[in-house]
Amino acid sequence: MSLFSTIHNSAGALQSAQIGLQTVGNNIANANTEGYIRQNYIQTTPAPSRSGQLIIGHGVRPAGITQQIDQALAERMWDAGSQLASGALQDKTLTQLLSLMNDLDGTGLNDELTALNGALHDLANEPNDASLRQVVILTAESLTLKMNRTHKEALRVRSDLDAALVDTVDRVNDLGEKIAKLNLQISTIEGGRLIGSDATGLRDDRYRAIEELSQLIDVNVQEQATGTVSIFVQGDYLVSEIYNRELKIDYTKVEEGGEIRFRDNNAELQLSGGELYAIKRGRDVQVGEVLNDLDDLARTLAREFNTLHSQGQGHRGYDSLTTAEAFVPDAALDAAGLAWTPEAGAFDLTLVDEAGKRLSTHRIDVRLGDPDRDGGSTVASIIADIDRIDGLSAELTPNGQLRIASDLPGVEFTFGGDTSGFVAAAGLNTFFVGRGAESLAVNSVLKDDPSMLAISRGGIGADTDGLTEIVDLLDADIEREGGVSIRDKYAKMANRLALATSNQQAATQGLQSFYATLQGEHLAITGVNMDEEALRMITYQRAFQAASRVIATASEMLELLTSL
């Protein structure tokens, strides 16, 4: 042991104190830098040496500068952030869908249903009032327009989600590529973890990229021995060290809006959290259920009204009538393109004069089954049966529509006694037209001439039995719907959506609290504490001063020795 060794050890202490002070200064400088992870300066004692009976130490050596982070806590926070991002986006989608109902401001579908029911009641009190017939038609048209708009707005929400899906997949690909590149840089600088220091700036960038990625998809992050990270999504790797697997959107099933797949092997990406999961769930489940419910409501409304209306008569008969829909003429009735499959039965076609007096009634049979094997009816065979009636002609137009017309001046025709449901299923003498919420509309025949509103059952001007059956139809239990009324179907739909929105809001609030707790714990570890840094700064300052005093003392002793 010599004075030179003492000076050498103290010089190492000076250098170590300087590095420690530099680390403290860097932490303080980045105290407000988003995503910055606090750095720790690690010092170590070199191996001692033996001198006689003594084992002598050799001061201090810098061992490395590392990030101060709890990796397990960070992964829990990323997972919670992924679930929170998913919940918040689902909450937003459900809130948008719930606002489409507009039942709180008096302009919702329930209010439109109430208005139509009220108009029918008013007409029932004064069935011969032409203005009240017009009110019924206008009120029904307002209902259909509201249903059209609601469906259109739901489609717009889905379109926005489709656009967000494309953007989010691109962001995932960009972040995956960025993380893979940072993996290479970190591994290169750190020498595959052969040195004791972290590539702190690059690791901060990678940490921020992983945190952002965790908002988009649910990730499982595993750091490798080389300092790189591998990122898995439900067992499939997205990033493996320096390699990144890109995602794509497969539009093979266009009706489903596209599936997210890996570009290299076309495997479908399985998700359980993050914005990408929320977008897919919002598009396919939340919006999909609303669209299906609206279509189901529209079809039920049209079927129930049309079934009754198609068997009644207005103030006059038809001289010609063409369906709005096109059909497959030679197919069995369950494959002919009808609004629904009719039952085995028959319907009446009655010829009347201009005064509404009955001239003749003709029964048209409707048979189910295969046309060739079972002798089942087809649209073409029913057309032929109608065409054989003296005074009427029936044909299939070039567009595939069914057209019935009177051949005799002053002779008109009406429908009634339909036990098969074919007349309504084919769109003849109906109140509504359309196959779903998007296309539902009041029959143009009624809009052009409200006197065609079929309020009679026994003939033109004979009674108001048809109107009596339609009044309160919205609140009547429907056997084919399991005893649920049209209004109940809407209420069930609206209540289910309101409950889902409420539950999602509660779940999101819980996730926010949980995430905030984990984030607070994480920041307590990784964030810069100015008081602690100030103490460290004083510690390194005192160490530097003490090492300097040792060097000064050793130098004086050395000078004394050399002067002897």
Please report whether residue 445 resides in a domain: no
Token pair recorded at residue 17: 């104190």
> 116-156 pLDDT, tens per residue?
999 999 999 999 899 999 999 999 999 999 999 999 999 99
Residues 50 and 185 in one domain: no
Residues 192 and 80 in one domain: yes
Looking at the chain, the whole-number percentage of residues with pLDDT higher than 90 is: 59
Contact 210, 221 (CB under 8 A): yes
Q: What is the pLDDT of residue 255?
A: 58
Q: Where are the strands (E) in 421-484, listed by range?
A: 432-433, 441-442
Between β-strands 243-244 and 236-240, what pairing exists: parallel, antiparallel or unpaired? antiparallel
Contact 147, 107 (CB under 8 A): no
Q: Categorize the per-residue pLDDT at 62 as very low, low, confident or very high, splitting at 50, 70 and 90.
A: confident
> 283-307 pLDDT, tens per residue?
999 999 999 999 999 999 999 999 9
Q: What is the pLDDT of residue 1?
A: 54
* Total domains, the chain: 2
> Which domain-ending residue is among 271, 298, 317?
271
Please report whether residue 363 resides in a domain: no
Token pair recorded at residue 70: 């709890």
Residue 389 is given by DSSP the state: S
Q: Which of 311, 318, 313 is nearest to 345 (CA)?
A: 311
395 CB contacts (<8 Å, ≥6 apart)? 383, 387, 403
Please report whether residue 62 resides in a domain: yes
Token pair recorded at residue 4: 């030179």
Q: DSSP H helical segments within 102-199, as ranges? A: 109-125, 130-190
- What does pLDDT average to over the chain? 90
Token pair recorded at residue 341: 């499959």
Range among 25-29, 363-367, 462-466, 526-530 with highest mean pLDDT value:
363-367
Please report whether residue 45 resides in a domain: yes
> 418-435 pLDDT, tens per residue?
999 999 999 999 999 998
Alpha-carbon distance of 452 to 153, in angstroms, equals 33
State the DSSP H helix or E strand holding residue 386, giving kind and residue range, or none if neither.
Answer: helix 379-387
> Which domain-ending residue is among 243, 271, 299?
271
Q: Residue 42 sits in which domain range?
A: 3-68+528-563
Contact 475, 138 (CB under 8 A): no
Alpha-carbon distance of 139 to 294, in angstroms, equals 19
Strands laid side by side in the 411-416 sheet: 358-366, 345-353, 411-416
> Which domain-ending residue is among 251, 271, 291?
271
Alpha-carbon distance of 420 to 315, in angstroms, equals 24
To the question of pTM greater than 0.75 for the whole model, the response is yes
Q: Can you tell me which residue has the tokens 């200064």?
A: 25
Residues 77 and 18 in one domain: no
